[in-house]
């Protein structure tokens, strides 16, 4: 492949892109280990697809925000490098698929022209930070959380502590106690709160740690009922340092922070976090907050009156009743757009931009249910916006209702997908709109579907959830769905996880949905919510209700194929890349240590003492792990590496640089970061890496 060069205004981005291009070239030339390369590209937002030879590129949009120029840029990039489709995700990202690996550096450079990044959108990093889509415009919010989400995004992007963690780390901000960002299912969740101290209002957050869905759902645990706003970023940095050092690294399925907390207990975890305080980059971080409504986001929004009113006035009224949100800024509405399966084309995007620019604010939000939100729309412009959306087939009412079904891409593109989720979601949506039209107003009941148990479609917290699976019948494998019932958002960071009920052939999903909703419609007490009704009925009740749909004795011919497919079903699960793969090659680890040293020197030259020290720490860990692996000792945590190195090398007199390598290394937590300590720690790290290289060479020579 030809070498790629770019001239970008941001030198950090240019360095990232050139590094990606270089590593792709080394990989193509057979000079870079495949697993090491996979880890690197994932941290650059490049994810392997189900289809061989092409990649999915994930575009990181903090709290789902993009300007009209950014939306237009993403559409153009999708045309030039992909298929012209933009996929909106439940993490408020945008994904484009079927991208050539060799063209990803150029793609990134094009995105950066409008300040869009793919850095750390995948891999074992801090993923895209999500937030309530009404942040900044909600009459009930104590304050706008978006400046805090954005500050956190900027602070941890490229931060050494979160580049190579054992697993991904997900963060969400909710702007009210309604918890519309679903903080309870995140590694860290923050809910906006205020309190009065000495007569003054003080901003802060309720903090929840260790939530997650996947195959083993776990609700987050509250660590602070109120954490002052200036302590938010330092607290997260301490949490990440603990997670990086103590988290599992060999078993991907046990590597999320929820498993670490389950293993050591929340009290021990909190103590470890406290022990990191002295070594943090900052003890407090001030965040400049600015409320929406000061005119900046309203500027340029003009009136656009039409002489013709919408043709179907009943449909228009239904749309207004279900797809609008009255902002706290008087005289403005937010408009929500249902986007089936989160897929919108680049052509449609450009037409919407061309017609709506100046009528909506320059602040588009991707929502966690794969839709769009347009802000600061004047009442007199609503009919115009409706007609524009209707002309593009995007004026369906019922945003956020039962019929607005969330789904991941599943078997369309994902390696882990077992059975189809996207076509199934469309079939389920038809059930609601045809048989339960009154539920277009119901925003309590949620229906979510994932292609596998990993819950990218968030089935694990749905009122009615499905995830892809398979069944064996008559000597053949048929597509199936696991049914879950009873998930609920209770507010304030509390929730209920869905109960697994029964597995049914995929083609019976509409019957399942119909039966559950009819049961609720006919049996619930007046005013009884579905959350209360399903909680009181319980798993066994729903098992008996759905059992007649699970029988495999008389399968229909079409049940041997999946939704949206004509050929007979067969499972084709690949290797998932939701997290990086561990690198256990000794020589690779030594090279990684040298890379960390180079990064440490750069940080110290820029007076970034804490980051320089942490990179030097990581260099020691990589070197020690390399020597342990050479001895046949496998470690699954960084703290384990420190313990085992002292056992295998220090206590046996092989390493004589200090009486305890562990204590020497962890001095980083005992001394505040400074120029003097950074230089001292760096010198020790250089000496240790030299020892590791000599030790490795001696063992190789003896072999």
Domain boundaries, the chain: 11-112, 130-279, 313-391, 406-560, 586-702
pLDDT the model gives residue 114: 96
In this predicted structure, the answer to whether residue 638 has a pLDDT above a threshold of 50 is yes
In this predicted structure, the answer to whether residue 23 has a pLDDT above a threshold of 90 is no
Quick one: tokens of 225?
Answer: 């009922």
pLDDT the model gives residue 403: 92
Tell me the per-residue pLDDT of 197-251, one tens digit each, with 9 for 90 and over. 999 999 999 999 999 988 889 999 999 999 999 999 999 999 999 999 999 988 8
Domain 130-279 has CATH 3.30.413.10: yes
pLDDT the model gives residue 304: 65
CA distance 101 to 310: 46
Between the CA of residue 231 and those of 197, 203, 210, 228, what are the distances in Å? 16, 11, 19, 5
**Where are the strands (E) in 221-305, listed by range?**
221-228
Name the pairing type of β-strands 447-450 and 464-473.
parallel
The torsion angles phi and psi of 191, rounded to 5 degrees, stand at -115, 125
Range with the lowest mean pLDDT among 22-26, 116-120, 150-154? 22-26
Contact at 8 Å (CB) between 144 and 289? yes
Contact at 8 Å (CB) between 57 and 104? yes
Fold of 313-391: Sulfite Reductase Hemoprotein; domain 2 (3.90.480)
pLDDT the model gives residue 3: 41
Domain 406-560 has CATH 3.30.360.10: no
Contact at 8 Å (CB) between 284 and 234? yes
pLDDT the model gives residue 27: 81
Query: Which residues neighbour 146 within 8 Å (Cβ) at sequence distance 6 or greater?
Result: 63, 65, 131, 135, 136, 173
311 confidence band (pLDDT: 50, 70, 90)? low
CA distance 17 to 603: 19
CA distance 347 to 402: 28
Helix (DSSP H) and strand (DSSP E) numbers for the chain: 19, 22
19 confidence band (pLDDT: 50, 70, 90)? confident
Contact at 8 Å (CB) between 151 and 229? no
Quick one: tokens of 280?
Answer: 């943090």
Over residues 445-453, the mean pLDDT reads 91
Query: Which residues neighbour 365 within 8 Å (Cβ) at sequence distance 6 or greater?
Result: 63, 64, 65, 92, 133, 372, 373, 375
Contact at 8 Å (CB) between 326 and 333? yes
Name the pairing type of β-strands 85-88 and 494-496.
unpaired
pLDDT the model gives residue 358: 95
In this predicted structure, the answer to whether residue 579 has a pLDDT above a threshold of 50 is no
Which class does domain 11-112 fall in? alpha beta
Element (H, E) at 193: strand 188-197
Residue among 258, 58, 60 at smallest CA distance from 153: 60
The torsion angles phi and psi of 176, rounded to 5 degrees, stand at -140, 175
CATH dotted code for 586-702: 1.20.120.330
Tell me the per-residue pLDDT of 512-534, one tens digit each, with 9 for 90 and over. 999 999 999 999 999 999 999 99
CA distance 360 to 385: 9
Tell me the per-residue pLDDT of 251-293, one tens digit each, with 9 for 90 and over. 888 899 999 999 999 999 999 999 999 999 999 999 987 655 4
DSSP symbol at 647: I
In this predicted structure, the answer to whether residue 582 has a pLDDT above a threshold of 90 is no
CA distance 547 to 557: 21
17 vs 332, residue with greater confidence: 332
What is the torsion angle, in degrees rounded to the nearest 10, for the CA atoms of residue 277, residue 160, residue 248 and residue 687? -90
Residue among 671, 443, 453, 449 at smallest CA distance from 573: 453
pLDDT the model gives residue 622: 93
The torsion angles phi and psi of 278, rounded to 5 degrees, stand at -65, -30
Element (H, E) at 611: helix 609-630
Q: In sequence order, what DSSP letters do the residues of 76-136 get, joined into one string?
A: HHHHHHS-SEEEE-TTS-EEEEEE-GGGHHHHHHHHHTTT-B-TTSSSSSB-PPEE-TTTT
In this predicted structure, the answer to whether residue 580 has a pLDDT above a threshold of 60 is no
305 confidence band (pLDDT: 50, 70, 90)? low
Tell me the per-residue pLDDT of 66-98, one tens digit each, with 9 for 90 and over. 999 999 999 999 999 999 999 999 999 999 999
pLDDT the model gives residue 572: 58
In this predicted structure, the answer to whether residue 571 has a pLDDT above a threshold of 80 is no
**Where are the strands (E) in 432-569, listed by range?**
447-450, 464-473, 476-485, 488-491, 494-496, 499-505
50 confidence band (pLDDT: 50, 70, 90)? confident
Query: Which residues neighbour 474 within 8 Å (Cβ) at sequence distance 6 or greater?
Result: 552, 555
CA distance 537 to 542: 7
How many CB atoms neighbour CB 53 within 10 A? 9
Mean pLDDT (the chain, rounded):
90
CA distance 424 to 649: 57
CA distance 534 to 520: 8
Within this chain, domains 130-279 and 406-560 share the same CATH topology: yes
Q: What percent of the chain has pLDDT over 90?
A: 72
Tell me the per-residue pLDDT of 54-67, one tens digit each, with 9 for 90 and over. 899 999 999 999 99
Q: What percent of the chain has pLDDT over 70?
A: 92
In this predicted structure, the answer to whether residue 307 has a pLDDT above a threshold of 70 is no
Quick one: tokens of 681?
Answer: 């720690």
Tell me the per-residue pLDDT of 147-171, one tens digit each, with 9 for 90 and over. 999 999 999 999 999 998 999 999 9
DSSP symbol at 413: T
pLDDT the model gives residue 9: 67
CA distance 273 to 268: 9
Between the CA of residue 117 and those of 112, 128, 343, 517, what are the distances in Å? 6, 11, 20, 42
């Amino acid at each position: 492949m030809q070498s790629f060069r770019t001239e970008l205004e941001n030198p950090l981005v240019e360095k990232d892109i050139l590094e990606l291009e270089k590593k792709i070239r080394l990989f193509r030339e057979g000079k870079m280990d495949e697993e090491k390369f996979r880890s690197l590209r994932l941290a650059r937002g490049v994810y392997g697809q189900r289809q061989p030879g092409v990649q999915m590129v994930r575009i990181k949009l903090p709290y789902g925000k993009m300007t009209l120029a950014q939306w237009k840029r993403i559409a153009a990039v999708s045309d030039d490098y992909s298929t012209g489709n933009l996929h909106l995700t439940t993490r408020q990202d945008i994904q484009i698929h079927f991208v050539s690996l060799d063209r990803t550096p150029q793609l990134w450079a094009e995105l950066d022209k409008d300040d869009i990044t793919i850095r750390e959108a995948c891999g074992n990093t801090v993923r895209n930070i999500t937030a309530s889509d009404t942040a900044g415009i909600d009459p009930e919010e104590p304050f706008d959380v978006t400046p805090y989400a954005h500050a956190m995004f900027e602070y941890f992007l490229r931060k050494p502590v979160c580049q190579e963690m054992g697993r991904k780390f997900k963060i969400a901000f909710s702007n009210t106690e309604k918890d519309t960002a679903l903080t309870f299912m995140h590694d860290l969740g923050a809910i906006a709160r205020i309190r009065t101290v000495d007569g003054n209002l003080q901003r802060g957050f309720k903090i929840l740690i260790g939530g997650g869905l996947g195959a083993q759902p776990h609700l987050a645990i509250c660590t602070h009922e109120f954490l002052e706003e200036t302590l938010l970023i330092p607290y997260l940095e301490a949490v990440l340092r603990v997670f990086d050092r103590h988290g599992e690294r060999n078993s991907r399925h046990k590597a999320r922070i929820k498993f670490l907390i389950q293993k050591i207990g929340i009290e021990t975890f909190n103590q470890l976090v406290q022990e990191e305080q002295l070594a943090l980059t900052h003890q407090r971080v001030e965040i400049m907050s600015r409320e929406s409504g000061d005119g900046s986001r309203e500027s340029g929004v003009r009136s656009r009156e039409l002489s013709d009113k919408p043709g179907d006035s009943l449909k228009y009224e239904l749309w207004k009743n279900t797809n609008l949100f009255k902002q706290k800024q008087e005289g403005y509405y937010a408009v929500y757009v249902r986007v089936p399966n989160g897929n919108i084309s680049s052509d449609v995007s450009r037409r919407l931009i061309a017609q709506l620019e100046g009528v909506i604010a320059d602040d588009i939000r991707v929502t966690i249910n794969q839709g769009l939100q347009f802000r600061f729309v004047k009442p007199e412009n609503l009919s115009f916006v409706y007609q524009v959306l209707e002309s593009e087939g995007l004026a369906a009412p019922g945003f956020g209702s039962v019929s607005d079904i969330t789904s991941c891409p599943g078997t369309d593109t994902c390696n882990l997908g077992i059975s189809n989720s996207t076509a199934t979601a469309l079939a389920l949506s038809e059930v609601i709109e045809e048989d339960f039209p009154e539920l277009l107003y119901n925003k309590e009941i949620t229906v979510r579907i994932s292609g596998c148990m990993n819950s990218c479609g968030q089935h694990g917290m749905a009122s009615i959830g499905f995830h892809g699976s398979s069944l064996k019948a008559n000597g053949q494998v048929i597509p199936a769905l696991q049914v879950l019932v009873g998930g609920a958002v209770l507010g304030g960071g509390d929730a209920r996880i869905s109960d697994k009920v029964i597995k049914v052939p995929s083609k019976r999903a509409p019957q399942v949905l119909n039966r559950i909703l009819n049961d609720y419609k006919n049996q619930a007490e007046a005013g009884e919510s579905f959350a209360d009704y399903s909680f009181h009925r319980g798993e066994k009740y729903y098992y008996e209700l759905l059992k007649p749909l699970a029988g495999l004795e008389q399968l229909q011919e079409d049940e041997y194929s999946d939704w949206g497919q004509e050929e007979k079903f067969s499972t084709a699960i690949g290797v998932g890349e939701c997290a990086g793969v561990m690198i256990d090659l000794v020589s690779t680890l030594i090279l990684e240590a040298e890379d960390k040293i180079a990064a440490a020197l750069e940080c110290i030259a820029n007076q970034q003492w804490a980051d320089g020290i942490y990179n030097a720490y990581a260099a020691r860990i990589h070197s020690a792990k390399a020597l342990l692996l050479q001895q046949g000792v496998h470690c699954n945590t960084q703290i384990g590496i420190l313990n085992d190195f002292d056992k295998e090398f220090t206590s046996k007199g092989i390493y004589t640089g200090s009486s305890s390598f562990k204590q020497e290394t962890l001095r980083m937590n005992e001394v505040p970061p400074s120029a003097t300590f950074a230089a001292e720690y760096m010198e020790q790290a250089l000496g240790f890496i030299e020892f590791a290289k000599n030790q490795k060479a001696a063992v190789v020579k003896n072999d």
